[in-house]
Amino acid sequence: MPGALENKVIVVIGGTSGIGLSAAKAFIAAGARVVALGRDQETSTEAEKVLAGNGLVITADATDPKAPVAAINVALGNFKRFDGLYHVAGGSGRKKGDGPLHEVSNDGWEYTVTLNLNSVFYSNRAAAQQFLRQNSGGSILNLSSVLAASPSAHFFATHAYSAAKAAIVGLSKASAAYYASTNIRFNVLAAGLVATPMSQRAQSDPAIMQFIASKQPLDGGRMAAPADLDAAAVYFMSDASRFVTGQVLAIDGGWELSDGQIPTERPRQPQAKQPNLIRTLAGIWNRLKS
């Protein structure tokens, strides 16, 4: 969509790899200038090369309340405006103690919720405060997950993660209602399983990949690519969505509509009872005697 974001300045939280970096490139292609925030120095360095000329990169932790404020200030200081925020940063807490409810550790819960929900609160609050100061309106887009509303008990039983992603939807809808009169819009993308560094566990598990082939059956049955989310992100950042707020758009290859249940083996057919030869002959003999 060339020109859809002409002259706009967008901050991408979690914009130096995966879904966020793909979106940042799409925003630039649509005419925007971008500030991408990432916490890993290596990916930040690579993102600087990719976005050079139309984007700036800052290295900071999205779970730090000061990080999104700094990113917005970089946008204002260098590009003299701020029009939209796309929050992508988040991740699995499985290695930190997330899992099924009865197994979730206190540390696992705190880590996962901090990474996936607190960071969204910090970035959305900072963006809303700036939009109110500007009296300009603006667009805030948050990345959630299909696991918020369409769980997968067998392969993706990380309940702190699902709870945090569901809370993103609640925060976004409540904020959308409250700020609608100021033209500050809040929307959500609910992503299916996407091929990113975060999903390496799934990508390396043949059973999960077989499951995904039927759970996300569109386009031959596959994981999403980061670019599959780009068009929607551009739309929500653009004026084309100026009359849209409080919406959740699933980009999931059909996840929410598909059962994805692949049997590991064919059901066994009940065996017919074999006749007992001795009993059969005895029955014939008794009938002949009578």
Strand, coil or helix: 139: strand
Which two three-digit tokens encode residue 45?
Answer: 């360095």
Among the listed residues 46, 55, 48, the one whose alpha carbon sits nearest the alpha carbon of residue 9: 55
State how far the Cα of 130 lies from the Cα of 127, in Å rounded to an integer: 5
Q: Which of 161, 178, 179, 235 is catalytic?
A: 161
Is residue 139 within 8 Å of residue 183, measured between CB atoms? no
161 an active-site residue? yes
Between CA 65 and CA 23, with CA 164 as vertex, the angle to 5 degrees is: 70
| Phi-psi region at 3: left, alpha or beta (left = phi > 0; alpha = psi -120 to 50) | left
- Which are the catalytic amino acids? 161
